[in-house]
Amino acid sequence: MSDSESIPYYKFHPMPVSSLIKIDTPNEGDELSLILQSGAYYYSRNRRDKTYEVVRLLEWRADSCHFQVIGMLDAVPTLEDTKALGPIMSHIPLALEYFLSAHLTYIGTASLTNEDTEGYKVYLEQLEFFNTRAEGVVLDIILKSKKKPLSPVRIKYHNGEVEFS
């Protein structure tokens, strides 16, 4: 393979997303209110071993959300706890249903850096549509992460779709 050929994204991540993070289909009418902001940390309680799984939102769009997987903690995580940890996975794209099925709880937000977004940038560069715009998209989410957190967004699963209001 020549240097000019790109390797498809799936060759970097041959495991299906569902084998990495359990994603259940939400029930009709499931909803929650959550602050959505680039750079925000969230946790969900692992029912099997009673640990807290921590993720960090890089970006959310109308059709997907993009996270870093931070790790597992034995106690309810604080923002300081999570900021002290580095990601164990720099980027994972997920369906919007993840917000509801993971029962995420907002911890807090910290500004993103170029280093924080490297995994997402590689992902964007592998997509033909974003290949020339990856740097601009990454800069945009870094700037969004520096803003004051917004009011919580209501997320609801209705008629097989995730709705935001």
Q: What is the pLDDT of residues 110-153, one digit of tens each?
A: 999 999 999 988 888 877 655 667 778 888 888 988 988 778 88
Strands ordered across the beta sheet of 105-109: 89-94, 65-73, 52-60, 40-45, 105-109
Section 36-43 average pLDDT = 92
Name the pLDDT band for 40 (thresholds 50, 70, 90).
very high
Higher pLDDT, 20 or 133: 133
When pLDDT is averaged across residues 9-32 and rounded to a whole number, the result is: 52
As a whole number of angstroms, the distance between CA 41 and CA 95 comes to: 18
pLDDT above 80 (res 6): no
pLDDT category of residue 67 using cuts at 50, 70 and 90: very high
Domain boundaries in the chain?
A: 35-150
pLDDT at 1: 37
DSSP states along 53-101: EEEEEEEE-SS-EEEEEEEEESSPPPHHHHHHSPPSEEEEEE-THHHHH
Half-sphere exposure of 6 (CA within 13 A, CB side): 11
Query: Residue 86: is its pLDDT beyond 80?
Result: yes
Model confidence at 4, pLDDT cuts 50, 70, 90, reads very low
